[in-house]
């Protein structure tokens, strides 16, 4: 019978403790979540500043954009939001996308569509959207060891490609550590390469809200040639924006199939993102609260001899090892009113299954104490 392999494939994943399932969420905030009528402390949210809990003023924008951006879908609200990001982050041009995954994969494909003398060099732990985009691009792709500048230098030094692009995340979504953005930027300049940064988890949290590449002073900036910001994390919205020199955005308009043949982001979503951006830029107290929560959680875990990975961001992974044990700990924590996610292969490497703990500005010290006590009880 056709496709009779499907049930076998699902059963194999179940036996390996790798079967994924959706959970029906009844209510959710940056602090708590309700599933099947039970309330939990939520330590699985990417709404790091808890902006999703803030009200929005009256939205009278339309819910649909009517068509693709190159037909009648590109409207004043899109142009205004793109320009706002350009002014904020110092770029010539921008392009909105319905998701970060779409932005990453389509930019990498389109950037090399009209040239076959290219090399993409990616951090080994880059997001799946970046890896998929590199694999589908008309360019060779190599990967360098995670945050290893020496290995990246060797890759660039040996390459004879004319058009070299280095790609990294700002904050790595499963490890929580940050890329050495300034070092990568300097290395790219030394080797006539461009630098593309996906700052999904850094924007809003780091650099006084502007992201991983933005320090407190101009001398600390290492602005990438191409910057991708997704709206579904600290910005508490949906969609993404690509920022780049004007010729790059113009090229994407010619050959970016994902953008050309998709309906534009809705005017209503533009209005939501615009309001959330205003809230994010003013969220100094929330960033301070979040930083305090991160420091307190790491201090409490050290006291409890819980070995966290080296992360100073809201993403705090606790390595368990095998997938079965990670799932068991996840379930034990849920019995104690704690909601977080067990992350298993292939999302992470074999034997590095983990509990991915995310902190937000909505958490209080007593919430963190409850979490650490629960972690101690089920290790």
* Catalytic residue ranges: 46, 127, 169, 173, 198, 201, 233
Q: How far apart are the first and last CA of the chain?
A: 45
For residues 104-141, one letter each, b for 16 or more C-beta atoms within 10 angstroms of the residue's C-beta and e for the rest, the string is: bbbbbbbbbbeeeebbbbbbebbbebbbebbeebebbb
* 378: nearest Cα among 341, 340, 325, 342: 325
Residue 215: exposure state from Cβ atoms within 10 A (0-12, 13-18, ≥19): middle
Contact of 178 with 140, CB cutoff 8 Å = no
Dihedrals phi, psi of 84, to nearest 5 degrees: -65, -40
* Rounded distance between C-alpha atoms, residue 252 and residue 94, angstroms: 10
3-state secondary structure of 25: strand
């Amino acid at each position: 019978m056709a496709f009779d392999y499907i049930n076998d494939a699902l059963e194999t994943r179940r036996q390996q403790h790798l079967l994924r399932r959706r959970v029906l969420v009844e209510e959710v905030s940056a602090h708590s979540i309700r599933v099947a009528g039970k309330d939990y402390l939520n330590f699985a949210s990417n709404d790091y500043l808890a902006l999703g809990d803030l009200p929005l003023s009256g939205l009278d924008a339309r819910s649909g954009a009517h068509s693709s951006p190159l037909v009648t879908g590109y409207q004043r609200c899109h142009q205004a939001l793109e320009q706002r990001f350009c002014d904020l982050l110092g770029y010539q041009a921008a392009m909105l996308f319905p998701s970060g995954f779409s932005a990453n994969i389509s930019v990498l494909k389109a950037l090399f569509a009209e040239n076959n003398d290219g090399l993409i060099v990616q951090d080994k732990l880059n997001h799946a959207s970046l890896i998929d985009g590199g694999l589908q691009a008309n360019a060779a792709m190599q990967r360098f060891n995670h945050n290893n500048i020496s290995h990246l230098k060797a890759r660039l030094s040996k390459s004879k490609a004319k058009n070299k692009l280095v790609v990294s995340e700002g904050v790595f979504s499963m490890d929580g550590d940050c890329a050495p953005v300034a070092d990568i930027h300097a290395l790219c300049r030394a080797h006539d390469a461009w630098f593309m940064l996906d700052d999904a988890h850094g924007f809003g949290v780091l650099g006084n809200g502007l992201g991983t590449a933005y320090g407190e002073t101009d001398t600390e900036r290492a602005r990438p040639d191409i910057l991708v910001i997704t709206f579904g994390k600290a910005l508490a919205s949906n969609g993404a924006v690509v920022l780049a020199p004007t010729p790059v955005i113009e090229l994407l308009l010619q050959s970016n199939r994902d953008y050309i043949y998709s309906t534009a982001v809705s005017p209503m979503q533009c209005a939501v993102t615009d309001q959330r951006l205003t809230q994010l830029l003013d969220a100094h107290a929330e960033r301070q609260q979040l930083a305090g929560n991160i420091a307190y959680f790491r201090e409490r875990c050290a006291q409890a001899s819980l070995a966290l990975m080296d992360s100073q961001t809201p993403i705090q992974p606790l390595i368990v090892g095998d997938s079965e044990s990670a799932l068991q700990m996840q379930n034990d924590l849920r019995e104690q009113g704690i909601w977080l996610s067990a992350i298993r292969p292939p999302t992470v490497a074999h034997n590095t299954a983990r509990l991915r703990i995310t902190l937000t500005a909505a958490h209080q010290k007593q919430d963190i104490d409850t979490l650490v006590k629960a972690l101690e009880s089920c290790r």
